[in-house]
Amino acid sequence: MAGCTRTVDNPRATSQASIGPIAAGQVADLLSPDIQNQDGNRFAVVVPDSCAGTALEVDPPFLVDHGPAAEDGGHWSGANGSSEVVNEEMVAVYPSDFSAADALASARRVVESCAGSEVDVTTMADRTYTFTVEAPAVQAPAGSVLWSLRSAEWNCDNLVVAAHNAAIEVTSCGPGGGMDTVAAAEQALERIETLADNTA
């Protein structure tokens, strides 16, 4: 899907604190080049609230709970073998005192505590799913947390990465599951590192 328009949401700047090495105005550059110029049917409500971070795509807790200075997001479609997958990307830039390690540890605690539990999800279009939260079947790359949401009809493979003063969360869903989240996490971390290196 390379070459498609990348900007989907208007980036929201929410803080005047010291921000760096990545600037708030660069938040859209954290999105992958696959982003299409359309909004996806995001997960808008998740019950129970204690596990909301595993599925919520509107104001995702793994990103917004840490006080982002700017946020953005986008949607794109791809393939997992013969099945189509839909992907939601959510990105954030934080003040310079953001702790990537603390953000990842917080996300990891939620995933671990919710593993094996069911979450009821309602999309922006009022479609509902009941997922079982699953711990990753593969080892997450350093700087990332991986997990899955499983149901009879729709399955999601998710990731969140954080480094420097930025974080990226991706939800990848399809009938047979989503994209290779290990590779996607590594690519997301590379986008953060590239921006940090170019602005240091």
Mean pLDDT of the chain: 91
Give the number of other CB atoms < 10 A from CB of residue 33.
Answer: 12
- Residue 12 located in a structural domain: no
Residue 138: which domain range? 24-198
Q: Rounded distance, CA 87 to CA 183, Å? A: 14
| 8: in domain | no
SS3 (DSSP) at 195:
helix
**Residue 17 forms part of a structural domain:** no
Q: Which amino acid is at 125?
A: A
Q: With bands split at pLDDT 50, 70 and 90, how would you rate the model's confidence at 194?
A: very high
Distance CA 196, CA 190 (A): 10
Residue 18 lies in a domain: no
Q: Name the residue with tokens 């919710």.
A: 114
Beta bridge partners of 83: 80
CATH number for the domain that contains residue 181 = 3.40.1000.70
Residue with the larger pLDDT of the pair 136 and 157: 157
pLDDT band of 51, cuts 50, 70, 90: very high
Position 164 in a domain: yes
pLDDT of 9 higher than 80? no
Give the per-residue pLDDT at 40: 84
Residue 116 CB burial class (10 angstroms; 0-12, 13-18, ≥19)? exposed
Other residues' Cβ atoms within 10 Å of the Cβ of residue 108? 18
Count of structural domains, the chain: 1
pLDDT above 70 covers a percentage of the chain that reads: 90
pLDDT grade for 39, boundaries at 50, 70 and 90: confident
**Within a domain: 150:** yes
> Is residue 14 one of the residues assigned to a domain?
no
pLDDT recorded at residue 80: 76
Give tens-digit pLDDT for 14-37.
445 799 999 999 999 999 999 986
> Which range, of 2-16, 49-63, 128-142, averages the lowest pLDDT?
2-16
Cβ–Cβ under 8 Å, residues 2 and 78: no
User: pLDDT: is 157 or 13 the higher one?
Assistant: 157
pTM: 0.90
Query: pLDDT tens for residues 60-117?
Result: 999 999 999 999 999 999 887 778 999 999 999 999 999 999 999 999 999 999 999 9
Q: Is residue 127 part of a domain?
A: yes
- CA dist 7 and 18 (Å) reads 25
- Looking at residue 198, its pLDDT comes to 84
Tell me phi and psi for residue 151, to 5 degrees: -150, 175
